[in-house]
Amino acid sequence: QERLAETGGDSVQAGGALRLSCAASLYSPTGRDYCMAWFRQAPGTERRGVAVIDPDGKTTYADSVKGRFIISRDSANKSLFLQMNNLLPEDTAMYYCAAEPVCPALVDLSFDEKWYNFWGQGTQVTVSS
């Protein structure tokens, strides 16, 4: 049974850093990594993609986090990470990891929550000014 579980959320001051982790239990008969992503949702807003890593390890970022966040994976330990540096108050949100066996051909779709069928429960990040 596929399962994702995020940890690492916390309250920090602006300029600080956090590292989120996502422990993944995903079935892959080919042994190939999944397309995985981090999304976030602030109160009253839609859930939006912030970073994607494809099965080959290629990464893509939303403009709002480019240069500050780094997505990575540890395939052996089936974990996904999000290193968040120079955090801003507008980064405050619930952060979710998501997975799907393949990434879409159109990169923009990989930032659309409708692409992914597997989700974690989320971890809260709060950044104070």
- Residues 101-119 pLDDT 10s: 999 999 999 999 999 999 9
- Residues 37-79 pLDDT 10s: 999 999 999 999 999 999 999 999 999 999 999 999 998 878 9
What pLDDT is attached to residue 96?
Answer: 98
- Residues 5-22 pLDDT 10s: 999 999 999 999 999 999
Dump strand ranges (E) for the chain.
3-7, 11-13, 18-25, 35-41, 48-53, 59-61, 69-74, 79-84, 93-100, 118-119, 123-128
